[in-house]
Structure 1
Amino acid sequence: YRQNWCIIKLSASCELKFFFFLLHDRQVSAIEVHTPSEVVAVNGSDVKLSCTFKSTQPVSDQSVTVTWNYRPPNSQAETSVFYHQGTPYPEEQGLFKGRVVWSGNVVKRDASITLQKVSPTFNGTYTCQVKNRPDVLGNHGEIDLKVVNKVSVSEIGILAAAVGGSCAVILVILGIIMGVKLYKRRQKEMMDIEVYSVGKSDLY
């Protein structure tokens, strides 16, 4: 009985040490991924989705894997956008076919991509996940992309004309108000002079 108790005690001790070993290993071998929280792009333009990372392990093209996924607005379903390990593997079908290029440099801890000729259908959340074994744990970056329509030259002209016209009207109104005030002030001064002159003549 005593021998069995020692075996059980030793087993529990080993499991506890193994647990702390895994916890320590998880803390040391955690990769950090950094991205902007939001990117705004003009409809029809190219936009870079920046993603950088920090790893406790040596970095090389073959050791690092980069995975980009896309999640449409108000949806939890994810679509593959891009994969890189030593060489780029762009999507060959779907929304992102021929629309994504590699803009990163793994050696410089850069896992960025560029979306070409974006449209409102590209709106959504993009996730950047980087692994560098044994650094496979850690966070992933998320970017909310918003594609907006370009303001045309005619719209800018109309807006400028509206603002300019409003300013002109305000200036005219201010000019009239100031003119009326000056006129009343001048009239009052003339009346004061006349009253003073009449009073002075009465004294003599």
Structure 2
Amino acid sequence: MFYPPMYRIWLLLLLGGFVLPGVSGIKIYTPGEVEAVNGTNVRLKCTFSSTHSVSLQTVSVSWNFRPLNSGSEESVFYYQEVPYPPQHGRFKDRAVWSGDISRKDVSITLHEVPPTFNGTYTCQVRNPPDVHGSNGEIVLSVVNKASVSEIGVLAAAVGGACAAILILLGIVVAVRFCRRKHMGNGIELSPREQEWKDPTVW
């Protein structure tokens, strides 16, 4: 009878006890798409969940950038116990930490964004031994003027409908008031008209 070596048994135990449960450990949450007006500040929100306890000493965060016209990535920000803002490149003095590890928030803020910041931002979180999971992505669009949001359009439509209903109600009330006033005058005149038509009255 064949007995596998002990190192194989330990390897299987390690794979079963550590690697497999960590596959779905880290989960990243990002808005997907963000729009910012040229020259303004924008917060790139990224939060996460982990199957292991979170602390300032265990969590590390990497933000990377991939421009629209190039496939090469560029480092934007790094965090491990303390923030490490970029010391060179397009994001120097533009990227600042705005997260809170205790709340599992690893967001950053970009200051005075120019059109060259258009592209995809990747948020990567590691919390050993929980190091597995997909990264979060945000597509940033820097525009010259803020586009009208769907909520704004909906609010304008609802406001216009309410105004139209109020105007119609005002018209209906005015018409009914005029009719009642006219009918009242007619009731006051009807006995006199009846007096002339009644042949028994002399």
1:36-75 deviation digits (Å, cap 9, x = unpaired): 1100000000000000000111111121111100001142
Q: Is 1:49 aligned with 2:53? A: no
Q: Is 1:103 aligned with 2:101? A: no
1:92-115 deviation digits (Å, cap 9, x = unpaired): 111000001111000011000000
What TM-score comes out, normalization by structure 1 length? 0.65
What TM-score comes out, normalization by structure 2 length? 0.65
**Which one of 120, 130, 135 corresponds to residue 130 of structure 2?**
135
In 1, Cα distance between equivalents of 2:86 and 2:28: 22
Residue identity matched to 1:38: E
Residue identity matched to 2:55: S
Describe the SS at the equivalent of 1:24. Answer: helix
Counterpart of 2:143 in structure 1 is 148
Q: 1:19 to 1:85 in 2, by over 3 A?
A: closer
Counterpart of 1:26 in structure 2 is 22
Q: Is 1:35 aligned with 2:30? A: yes
In 1, Cα distance between equivalents of 2:126 and 2:7: 33
Describe the SS at the equivalent of 2:3. Answer: helix
1:138-169 deviation digits (Å, cap 9, x = unpaired): 11100000000137xxxxxxxxxxxxxxxxxx
Q: 1:102 to 1:6 in 2, by over 3 A?
A: closer
Counterpart of 1:190 in structure 2 is none
Contact 2:22 2:131 in 1 (8 A): no
Displacement of 1:24 in angstroms is: 2.9
Counterpart of 2:3 in structure 1 is 6
In 2, Cα distance between equivalents of 1:132 and 1:118: 30
Aligned residues with identical type, % of pairs: 51
**Which one of 111, 118, 131 corresponds to residue 113 of structure 2?**
118
In 1, Cα distance between equivalents of 2:120 and 2:48: 19
1:118-197 alignment runs, 5 A limit? 118-150=113-145
Residue identity matched to 1:24: L
Describe the SS at the equivalent of 2:122. Answer: strand
Q: 1:115 to 1:21 in 2, by over 3 A?
A: same
Number of matched residues?
Answer: 146
In 1, Cα distance between equivalents of 2:14 and 2:55: 30
Displacement of 1:79 in angstroms is: 0.4
Q: 1:22 to 1:132 in 2, by over 3 A?
A: closer
Q: Which runs of 5+ in 2 are unaligned?
A: 147-202
Residue identity matched to 1:150: K
In 2, Cα distance between equivalents of 1:141 and 1:86: 21
Residue identity matched to 2:111: Q
Residue identity matched to 1:6: Y
